[in-house]
């Protein structure tokens, strides 16, 4: 057996550089890295040697570097991914939140934090945690609950088994998620005689699991017996590449489709059978269809509480749940009739079985909802501060088919899900974890994945303050996208939730907090100081002009506008369970508790 002597870090980088996809691209496109104690000497040197073949990008914060990598994988429909490396201690722990984002959303990212010395000779080293009861614990053990696969590389030959296991998880449609390989810093620099065959290029194929014959037969029977079926399209439709198959299936059988946050843009917004967004942030058209449905066909959805109205939405007393999902864990939820399968394969099998079977005509519910959304998105006729919905309307009027709108937390996810008209592939929302601070880094990752897209990042002042440093990274890398910051002076979304559950306005808007001086943050000046082209506008007309001027720019464009923190789209939506206190001296809370108890009785937790 021929061998080659390399350090463990050199071997890892060389192996990652030859892991390919079926279309001839490298699966791990490159690595984000902030070097420090624990990865600069071993892994840093290995990455330098391969810099022309395997790119290394430097961010400004470990968490947001990982957000960029996660957004890249999501925009690539999980067909390609990125790696992230950090120092030990705080650098590594900064990535734990991002790992949670990837874990909740089932997205691949390879996390390679530096770790303590395997030899333990210099212990305790700088930034090392010491567990008084367990000598094997390091800060990186925090990654265990938010990793689909976790390993600690404490010998150089460990990568021979750990790396293939890592990519097996990242490329598996059912197990897909973040992988953490904690890399002991002395081991990174240790040499080993690796088999040359280990570095032979490998092509990773993405499996499309086919349905079990008995499960398929049960699903077909349930669909044929249904009088009012509805399809709940989730992110699994997009990751499967089943958008066209879904449109064909819905059209052939006249079954309405509603879209989750992850599934929005699986079907063109103006498709005749797209009844719009579903659930708490849903359209009245979609929610009415779900309330009446006797068969709810979940297609690639994990039935998050925002989708189901905390399991109060599907009100038909005869309703059944059919869950079609590549992950058995999701397919078996809430006593559903399960069909474990790739979404595209399942739709093809069902189409073949149902043949020309077509359901009766469906009431036209979409036109009423379209009128509601048009009204809230219209430009204001007064001089009052614009609403977030009017800002969305301005972005919509200047958008094109190449526009991809994205966000993650605060007001924007709910309003964009409700009222944004998305063509296929034109919507990117991180709402599995709804992580503040994902937005700007996410826009960077999306633009790297889809350079031809007109990426527009919409976020509030709260999320901007949470994490904005990768705006400077995007400037330096020459990766352009547009950022629209709606400044409502605090956490307007949570303030509305607080008030809606009977709470007093407290600690959410900046003027409700115990601050000595009022907030006068100049977001345009801040973004401009990082190198972006930034402007502040005062009207919707000025916003539309700035959005138009931003198209085709070579660096990130930032547009700031003050908005009213109070209004939200009143139409659509459904109940969402939030714990309201049983005991309070405030009548508003007691009234909210009574409403809570009334709605809680509508929940159906299992069939």
pLDDT at 604: 87
13: β partners: none
Cis peptide preceding 124, ω within 30 of 0: yes
Q: Is 444 helix (H, G, I), strand (E, B) or coil?
A: helix
Between 3.20.20.10, 3.40.462.10, 3.30.565.10, 3.40.50.970, what CATH number should domain 3-204 receive? Answer: 3.40.50.970
pLDDT in tens, 394-424: 999 999 999 999 999 999 999 999 999 999 9
Starting from the edge strand earliest in sequence, which strands make up the sheet with 427-429, in order?
A: 427-429, 403-407, 454-460, 482-487, 557-562, 533-537
Same fold, 213-364 and 368-562: yes
Q: Between vectors from CA 482 to CA 481 and to CA 484, what angle results, nearest 5°?
A: 150
Q: Is 575 helix (H, G, I), strand (E, B) or coil?
A: coil
Nearest to 503 by CA among 434, 567, 590, 566: 590
pLDDT in tens, 427-455: 999 999 999 999 999 999 999 999 999 99
Which residues lie closer than 8 Å to 9 by C-beta, 6 or more apart? 42, 43, 45, 46, 183, 188, 189
Confidence class for position 511, pLDDT limits 50, 70, 90 = confident
pLDDT at 476: 98
Alpha-carbon distance of 460 to 445, in angstroms, equals 19
Alpha-carbon distance of 346 to 235, in angstroms, equals 15
Starting from the edge strand earliest in sequence, which strands make up the sheet with 178-184, in order?
A: 56-57, 28-33, 81-86, 109-115, 178-184, 149-153
Is residue 551 a contact partner of residue 544, using CB atoms and an 8 Å limit? Answer: no
pLDDT in tens, 120-138: 999 999 999 999 999 999 9
Alpha-carbon distance of 404 to 456, in angstroms, equals 6
pLDDT at 294: 97
Query: For residues 297 and 357, which has the higher predicted lDDT (pLDDT)?
Result: 297
Domain parsing of the chain, residue ranges: 3-204, 213-364, 368-562
Task: Classify 454 in phi/psi space as left (phi over 0), alpha (psi -120 to 50) or beta.
Answer: beta
Between 3.40.50.300, 3.40.50.970, 3.40.1160.10, 3.40.50.2300, what CATH number should domain 368-562 receive? Answer: 3.40.50.970
Average pLDDT score over residue span 568-583:
93
Q: Is 306 helix (H, G, I), strand (E, B) or coil?
A: helix
pLDDT in tens, 201-244: 999 999 999 999 999 999 999 999 999 999 999 999 999 999 99
Q: The domain 213-364: what is its CATH number?
A: 3.40.50.1220
Nearest to 233 by CA among 442, 417, 456, 439: 417
pLDDT in tens, 246-271: 999 999 999 999 999 999 999 999 99
């Amino acid at each position: 057996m021929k061998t080659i002597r390399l350090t463990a870090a050199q071997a890892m980088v060389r192996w990652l550089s030859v892991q390919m996809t079926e279309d001839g691209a490298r699966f791990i496109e490159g690595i984000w890295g902030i070097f420090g104690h624990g990865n600069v000497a071993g892994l840093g040197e290995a990455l330098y040697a391969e810099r022309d073949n395997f790119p290394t990008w430097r961010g400004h914060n470990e968490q947001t570097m990982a957000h960029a990598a996660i957004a890249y994988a999501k925009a690539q429909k999980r067909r390609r991914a990125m790696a992230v490396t950090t120092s030990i201690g705080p650098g590594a722990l900064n990535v734990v939140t991002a790992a949670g984002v990837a874990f909740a959303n089932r997205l691949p990212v390879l996390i390679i934090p530096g770790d303590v010395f395997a030899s333990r000779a210099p212990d305790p080293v700088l930034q090392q945690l010491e567990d008084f009861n367990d000598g094997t614990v390091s800060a990186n053990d925090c990654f265990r609950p938010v990793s689909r696969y976790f390993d600690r590389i404490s010998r150089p030959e460990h990568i021979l088994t750990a790396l293939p296991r890592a990519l097996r998880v990242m490329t598996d449609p059912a197990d897909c998620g973040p992988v953490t390989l904690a890399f002991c810093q002395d081991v990174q620099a240790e040499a080993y005689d690796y088999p040359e065959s280990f570095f032979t290029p490998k092509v990773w194929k993405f499996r499309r699991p086919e349905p079990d014959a008995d499960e398929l037969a049960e699903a077909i029977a349930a669909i044929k017996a249904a009088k009012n079926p509805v399809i709940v399209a989730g992110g699994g439709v997009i990751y499967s590449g089943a958008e066209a198959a879904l449109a064909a299936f819905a059209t052939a059988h006249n079954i309405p489709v509603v879209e989750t946050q992850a599934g929005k843009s699986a079907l063109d917004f103006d498709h005749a059978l797209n009844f719009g967004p579903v659930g708490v942030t849903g359209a009245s058209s979609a929610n009415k269809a779900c309330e009446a449905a006797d068969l709810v066909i979940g297609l690639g959805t994990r039935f998050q509480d925002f989708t189901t109205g905390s399991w109060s939405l599907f009100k038909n007393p005869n309703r059944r749940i059919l869950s079609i999902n590549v992950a058995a864990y999701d397919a078996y939820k809430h006593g559903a009739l399960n069909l474990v399968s790739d979404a595209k394969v399942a739709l093809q099998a069902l189409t073949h079985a149902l043949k020309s079977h077509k359901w009766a005509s469906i009431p036209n519910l979409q036109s009423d909802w379209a009128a509601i959304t048009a009204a809230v998105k219209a430009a204001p006729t007064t001089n009052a501060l614009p609403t977030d919905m009017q800002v969305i309307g301005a972005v919509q009027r200047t958008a094109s088919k190449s526009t991809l709108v994205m966000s993650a937390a605060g007001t924007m996810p709910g309003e964009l899900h409700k009222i944004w008209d998305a063509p296929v592939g034109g919507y990117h929302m991180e709402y599995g974890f709804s992580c503040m601070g994902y937005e700007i880094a996410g826009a960077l990752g999306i633009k790297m994945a889809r350079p031809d897209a007109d990426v527009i990042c919409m976020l509030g002042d709260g999320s901007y303050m949470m994490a904005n440093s990768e705006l400077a990274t995007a400037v330096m890398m020459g990766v352009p996208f547009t950022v629209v910051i709606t400044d409502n002076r605090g956490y307007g979304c949570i303030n509305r939730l607080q008030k809606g559950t009977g709470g007093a306005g407290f600690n959410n808007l900046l003027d409700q907090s115990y601050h000595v001086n009022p907030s006068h943050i100049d977001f345009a000046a801040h973004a401009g100081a990082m190198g972006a082209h930034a402007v502040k506008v005062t009207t919707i007309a000025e916003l539309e002009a700035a959005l138009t001027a931003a198209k085709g720019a070579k660096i990130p464009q930032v547009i700031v506008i003050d908005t009213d923190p109070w209004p939200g789209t009143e139409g659509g939506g459904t109940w969402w369970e939030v714990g309201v206190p049983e005991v309070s001296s405030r009548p508003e809370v007691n009234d909210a508790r009574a409403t809570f108890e009334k709605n809680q009785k509508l929940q159906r937790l299992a069939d």
